[in-house]
Structure 1
């Protein structure tokens, strides 16, 4: 098979990977391995054209993989450590293939991949919607509806909301780049219908932070497209409105802030035990574990084991035995595993990505970075396959994009 044909086929594989919202996890894994192997063949056939200058960039983009790999050296639970390493391997593989082995991403190809992705998210939502209409009957709570959604898709609601939120930003970015005239009226109207449908599903899934960040970044993207004077006026109007809403709902906000560590049996206390209370217990135990090794952490393989031991010995509630709770904060997870040194390396990677998006004036890349940076505060996005493939795929696509 000729080299140019291999390159063409490798891009087709990448297109299939961009459809991961529609694909079973096993298929995603097979496609990623296939893309790596094809890229490896291309590399050995084209050594003269390889991008050895990207070695540092690949190392930087693979920061989490490197952090976890090093922390494995002092983990006691090696089985758990290797599971984490395997889970975050796509971060390294996408960086290596698109940065050195097979640097094929151009501006045109990036655009095609983004279009394929948002079409896949929209199609997936339509399929799920159709299934739920015919299989879920009667009046049910939003929580039960979310459970039915997760059971059918096999994807945690927070992660699907994250995928959907980025699809919204892709569509909005398209709309902002179109001229508002009669010729584009139908296209813009269709885009806005799709955008509204995606946001509707974010409300249904009810993952609060991804929804909030989607709306916030959508607002920022719109402001960037408006005249400076109008943008400043709208910004201050929004701030004023937010302050008024906050004042009206002051008691609700106080209750959210006034959380306490859970006590008692979950069966008896679940009605008064909020998610904020549960997180308070998680952060309490995380703090106690971090004090054991602030600089280097305790090793990625031992994080969950130590959290579970702390839940059992330090917190007078069985909620942490009934349900499994990790650190629920990506930054906290890295400090627990690799200490402040690991966190600084990871933050350096995020800063490089953010600076690159600003330097290239790439609004969508900037929005992606901000989306991840904010959502990392409440979820271990990179502890599940669904979060890893989203992060690793798009950061590599944007990072190694050649503007030609």
Structure 2
């Protein structure tokens, strides 16, 4: 395959990848494999202008390498291998992002508004399709059953509600950025606002507190950074809708009210907040023993389950993870793993701050906040999307040796 054909294939595969939420699980994995293979072929077949970001590849894959290293002291080898397989995007996407050619980056940058639009539209369409399937087959008890259906009853399209809610939040952040950058007409603006409201409604049906709160915080940062009155108004409308539903819808209100009673929480009543409090108690007990190198990627779950046995048998039955990505990293690969991952995040933040890549920063803030209450890098639903979106957008917005980003209809 010629170099131009390979780069064209990479270009179109990236477009398809931004529609990840619409793709079934097996096709998503095929796409990821095709991307890494074609990017590597393109890099080694290029005779001039080879573009490699060694720092991004090394820092981006360093967490996965600590997981790999921890296999030397992991007792549960089978589980360790499964965890390494699930976490493979932590290695694959830094390679893809670090080896993308200058020509491909320039072409993608010049279509960045299309890429972002494809992602946002695919998220909305996924919500709508899931909703229509639910209404057709399961009835109208939305708040109670819709999250369970999308998690367990959609076959190759199954996705945990927390990750679907995260998709919704990121699409809202992206839409705010596009509203700032692109000069939409009045009807296009109205349509985008209505779509955002619809996505917010779906997020409220899923009732995942972490993504909702993190979205509001990261969106507020983006709005303040861009200093645009129009998107301030739009975010205010969305926040008002969120606040009204949280106050007046009983089930949603109960979920969020848990956060106001943490100090008085009765840990015998297993709300989502109380479950996390018990898990974090176990985490505090286990962290000193995890030390510099951790328990190993295959043994972390066993350590947590042993602790749950002495704390609460319901947690033991459900086999809960640590519900904090940073805590999980310490348990898996110790403070060495945590240092590697924090160094990578710091690199992304600093580079993005210097280049004023406010959208990238807002998305990084969002994912970092969600990591405080969820293990979003340990299920395929999460690690693929988080790795792809953050790294590809980082590359497109932060490379100084490529052409300036242009937007169709830019103000």
TM-score (norm 1): 0.85
Partner secondary structure for residue 380 of structure 1: coil
Give the match for residue 64 of structure 1.
63
Query: 1:274: how far off?
Result: 2.0
- Please tell me whether the aligned partners of residues 357 and 363 of structure 1 are also in contact (alpha carbons under 8 angstroms): yes
Q: How far does residue 340 in structure 1 lie from its aligned partner after superposition?
A: 1.6
Distance 1:22 1:252 in 2: 33
Alpha-carbon distance between aligned partners in 1 of 2:163 and 2:58, rounded to the nearest angstrom: 26
In 2, distance between residues paired with 1:74 and 1:105? Answer: 40
Please, what is the CA RMSD of the aligned residues? 2.7
Task: Structure 2: give runs of 5+ residues left out of the alignment.
Answer: 248-253, 404-411
1:168 maps to what in 2? 172
CA contact (8 A) 1:311 1:320 kept: yes
Among 134, 137, 144, the residue aligned to 1:135: 137
- Displacement, 1:390? 1.1
Match of 1:203 in 2: 204
Q: What is the match of residue 155 of structure 1?
A: 159
8 Å Cα contact 1:36/1:97 also seen in 2: yes
Q: Deviations over 1:87-130 (max 9, x none)?
A: 12122212112312655223224433222211211111121122
Moved over 6 A (4+): 249-252
Residues 37 and 131 (structure 1), Cα distance of their counterparts in 2 relative to 1, 3 Å cut: same
**Greater Cα offset, 24-33 or 105-114:** 105-114
User: Given the alignment, which residue of 247, 256, 259 partners 2:262?
Assistant: 256
Structure 1 residue runs of 5 or longer lacking an equivalent are 263-271
Counterpart residue number, 1:55:
54
Structure-2 change in CA distance of 1:98 and 1:227 (3 Å): closer
Structure 1 residues 71-101: Cα deviation after superposition (integer angstroms, max 9, x where no partner): 2222111222221221121222121123126
1:275-333, Cα deviation, whole Å (9 max, x unpaired): 22222221122222222132221111110011112212x22x32023312010100000
Residues 109, 67 of structure 1: alpha-carbon distance in 2 compared, 3 angstrom cutoff:
farther
Question: Which residue of 2 is the match for residue 15 of structure 1?
Answer: 15
Q: Distance in 1 between matches of 2:21 and 2:97?
A: 21
Q: TM-score, normalised by structure 2?
A: 0.84
Contact 1:172 1:195 in 2 (8 A): no
Query: 1:83 aligns to what?
Result: 82
Higher-Rg structure is: 1
- CA distance in 2 between partners of 1:251 and 1:157 (Å): 20
Native 8 Å contact 1:260 1:280 kept in 2: no
Could you tell me how far apart the structure 2 residues matched to 1:35 and 1:288 are? 42
Q: Does structure 1 retain, via aligned residues, the 8 Å contact 2:22–2:126?
A: yes
Size of the aligned set, in residue pairs, is 375
Deviation at 1:261, TM superposition (A): 4.3
